[in-house]
Every structure is written in C-alpha cells, then in structure tokens.
Amino acid sequence: MKYLILFNLLILMLLIGSCDNESFESISQKEIRDIFYELSLDFNLGNVGGMLDKVHNDYLHKGNILWHLNEEILDRMARFNLLEIEVLYIEFQGDRYAVAHTRDHYSSAIENVSYNEPESSGFFSYFYRENGVWLIYGNQLWIKK
C-alpha cells in the first residue's frame, strides 16, 4: 500500500512537471491579438465606444490625445465600412510595454486601403499593461527625445 501511494505521488509529480505552462509572452500575444480582433469587430459594427474601451486613460500618441484618436476613428468610419487587422508580430519591451506590427486593411464600396503599422500612423500599435490588462497607450517615447 505504501508503494502504491508513492507510485501515484510520483506519477502526479511527473504529470504536473510535464504540463506545458504558457509563458507570459505567449499569453500576452494572445491577449493583444484578441484586442485587435475586437477592434476590427467594433469598427465594423460602428462601435466607437467599444474601440475606446481598449484605450488607456493616459493615451498620448506623438502629441495626440484621446480626442484625436476618437476623431481619427470617426474619420475612418465615415470613409470605410470594414476593417481587417492582420497582426504580423508583437515586440515586448519588458513586461509592461509592447509594440504590435500590423497590416490594417480598410475597405468600402469605392476603395481599399492598407496601412503598415506602426509605420503609417501607429494609433493602435503601442500597448501598456496595467493591473494585468493590456491597453492601447500610444507612442509616448517621443516625449523623452
């Protein structure tokens, strides 16, 4: 009986040790990719508020505040019906900052336009992790230059 308990304990330890624990980076990748999926869905539904819910209160992007981002979203919604965001890769800068490289495909009945981000404007490319949640933060590095 004693050997059976030890044997079961050994098997349990092996199972626990062999579990594939996801890394912080892979979990964060999924979370940020989900944000982009939700952004495109909100855009396609005309839900500006839903898009802005994913933005940090201290958003600042190259001198543009949240109001500018709201205006940019409204301008693009007036011009395009659909947005599809293709996440190319995500760079992590420690465990609090990330930059997502995407190809944003906007389309309407009369035109199709693609932007490589963050090179084009980068409004949605810069993230900050606060209280365990990734939020769009803007490129605030320009302040430090």
Listed by start position, the domains of the chain span 24-144
Question: Residue 18: its pLDDT value, please?
Answer: 45
Q: Tell me the β-bridge partners of 130.
A: 133
Model confidence pLDDT, tens digit, residues 16-71: 554 445 799 999 999 999 999 999 999 999 999 999 999 999 999 988 999 999 99
pTM listed for this prediction: 0.82
* pLDDT score, position 140: 87
pLDDT in tens, 89-113: 999 999 999 999 999 999 999 999 9
Nearest alpha carbon to residue 124 among 52, 41, 75, 71? 52
Topology classification of domain 24-144: Nuclear Transport Factor 2; Chain: A, (3.10.450)
pLDDT > 90? residue 3 = no
What pLDDT, on the 0 to 100 scale, is given for residue 46? 97
Question: E strands within the chain?
Answer: 60-61, 64-65, 82-93, 97-107, 112-117, 126-130, 133-136
**144 vs 48, higher pLDDT:** 48
pLDDT > 80? residue 125: yes
